[in-house]
């Protein structure tokens, strides 16, 4: 029995590790465990795996599971990341990755795979707005039996976990909670009588038991709907790519994700609105060593202009990939070279450029003729500090990394969809209930219960890539 197996009634003797969810109890190696949390991981291309948080009365553990050619299980517990290496978080911040070799409790671990994924806690719902992005690096020791994982959530939050493989037969006497049969009935009713509420028809297929037949019926139904509505148009082209192609003769431009929106309940439509900033001709050169000459009453310069584009439909993949990037520059062309890199608007070409402004007490200030650019780049409320710009240019720009500024005590970044910088803007998405809910929760949900471990053991690995993968 695997992750997608489903049945409407159950025999406790037939329950498997993939049926585990909140409230289950089971025996493992002579100890009793209770399932306290359920997590799902989205690796892209409809590739989902599952993990449960468990407790033996003394210690919290995490049991990761997946099934490819065989069932693969890993038992882990969280460890302080600095117990692996004191400066490990600093290395990742500086180099955007950890070392290929780590030593923990006297054993050497070699990097096997680096991945980016999304995590969801609770009931499985591929359309949920609560999927949270993270990066992970998975290591295996020389014996091939022990595992180590390092994670990065956002830019400055790190976690680690250590553990080992276990065999499926070590999980015994699986018992569901008293309300489990009622849960199954509710899921079956939901599948058969789905009436919206923003949930997908696949709600519940990955949590607990149910009909294999229901899965295939649902799959066929979804396939028919996709064909009918054309939601997976093979000729789809990203609007950003289209704009880049249309502006091939422009030496410098910036594409900013100004606003975004989603419409519909069951069948959703995703939309973006872009702001395009064009440098029609280069600003006059200035002597950077000469005193600053700034006249606040000078006429507005005409060499830079912008256009707020009409709303355009985007794929669900484009929307999800950029869900954190509202108010950010997502592509630019500078000196004839196009670069798709997420950064605060203006950072890539105008901030720090003495043709357009200067540093005034370590705050970027545009010359009088370019003062309008503060509003154009949404900088009026949150001016750019020199330390942020130096951090961006020194640690992110040259490495092609997205830059969201620094995070506050709640884990909320300065820039991006749910950033402080963006919260004061009037946008359609900013007025939506989903934005308000996500903003109030962003960075505040504790990940102290989440494991960093997603593994495939031995020589069996998923199609995502070779080695010790997820």
Distance between CA atoms of 155 and 40, rounded to whole angstroms?
Answer: 22
Distances (CA, A) of 73 to 107, 185, 364, 367: 21, 28, 53, 61
Residue-wise pLDDT for 17-61, tens only, equals 999 999 999 999 989 999 999 999 988 767 789 999 999 999 999
- What per-residue confidence (pLDDT) applies to 459? 30
Which token pair is 25? 């109890």
Residue-wise pLDDT for 54-108, tens only, equals 999 999 999 999 887 688 899 999 999 999 999 998 898 888 889 999 999 999 9
Which token pair is 29? 């190696």
Domain ranges for the chain: 12-174, 239-431
- The distance of Cα 232 from the centroid of its chain, to the nearest Å, equals 22
Residue-wise pLDDT for 310-367, tens only, equals 999 999 888 888 988 999 999 999 988 999 999 999 999 999 999 999 999 999 999 9
Query: Nearest to residue 306, comparing CAs of 357, 372, 381, 384?
Result: 372
Residue 444: pLDDT above 80?
A: no
User: Band of the pLDDT at 5, cuts 50, 70, 90?
Assistant: low
Which of 140-144, 190-194, 263-267 is most confident? 140-144
Residue-wise pLDDT for 194-217, tens only, equals 444 333 333 333 444 444 444 444
- The residue-averaged pLDDT of 390-411 equals 80
């Amino acid at each position: 029995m695997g992750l997608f197996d489903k049945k409407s009634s159950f025999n406790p003797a037939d329950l498997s590790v993939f049926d585990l969810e909140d409230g289950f109890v089971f025996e493992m190696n002579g100890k009793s465990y209770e399932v306290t949390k359920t997590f799902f991981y989205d690796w892209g291309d409809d590739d989902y795996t599952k993990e449960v948080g468990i407790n033996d009365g003394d210690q919290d553990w995490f049991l990761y599971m997946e099934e490819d050619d065989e069932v693969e299980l890993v038992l882990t517990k969280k460890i302080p990341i600095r117990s692996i290496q004191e400066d490990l978080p600093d290395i990742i911040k500086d180099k955007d990755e950890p070392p290929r070799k780590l030593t923990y409790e006297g054993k050497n671990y070699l990097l096997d795979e680096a991945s980016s994924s999304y995590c969801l806690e609770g009931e499985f719902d591929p359309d949920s707005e609560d999927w949270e992005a993270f990066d992970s690096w998975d290591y295996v020791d020389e014996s091939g039996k022990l595992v180590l994982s390092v994670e990065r959530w956002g830019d400055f939050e790190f976690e680690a976990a250590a553990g080992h493989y276990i065999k499926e037969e070590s999980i015994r006497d699986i018992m569901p909670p008293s309300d489990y049969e009622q849960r199954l009935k509710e899921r079956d009713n939901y599948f058969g009588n789905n009436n919206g509420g923003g949930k997908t028809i696949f709600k519940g297929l990955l949590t607990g038991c149910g009909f294999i037949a229901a899965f295939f019926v649902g799959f066929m139904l979804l396939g028919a709907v996709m064909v009918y509505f054309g939601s997976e148009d093979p000729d789809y082209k990203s609007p950003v790519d289209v704009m880049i192609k249309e502006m091939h003769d422009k030496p410098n431009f910036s594409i900013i994700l100004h606003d975004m929106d989603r419409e519909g309940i069951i069948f959703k439509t995703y939309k973006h609105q872009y702001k395009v900033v064009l440098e029609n001709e280069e600003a006059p050169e200035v002597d950077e060593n000469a005193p600053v000459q700034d006249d606040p009453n000078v006429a507005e310069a005409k060499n830079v202009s912008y256009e707020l584009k009409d709303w355009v439909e985007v794929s669900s993949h484009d929307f999800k990939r950029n869900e954190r990037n509202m108010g950010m520059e997502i592509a630019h062309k500078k000196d004839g070279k196009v670069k798709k890199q997420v950064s605060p608007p203006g950072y890539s070409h105008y901030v720090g450029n003495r043709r357009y402004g200067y540093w005034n007490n370590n705050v970027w200030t545009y010359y009088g003729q370019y003062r309008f650019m503060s509003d154009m780049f949404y900088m009026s409320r949150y001016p750019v500090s020199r330390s942020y710009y130096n951090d961006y240019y020194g640690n992110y720009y040259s490495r092609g990394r997205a830059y969201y500024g620094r995070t506050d005590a709640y884990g909320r970044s300065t820039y991006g969809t749910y950033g402080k910088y963006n919260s004061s803007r009037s946008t359609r998405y900013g007025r939506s209930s989903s934005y308000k809910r996500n903003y109030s929760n962003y960075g505040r949900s504790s990940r102290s219960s989440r494991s960093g471990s997603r593994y495939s053991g031995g020589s069996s690995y998923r199609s995502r890539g070779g080695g010790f993968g997820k």
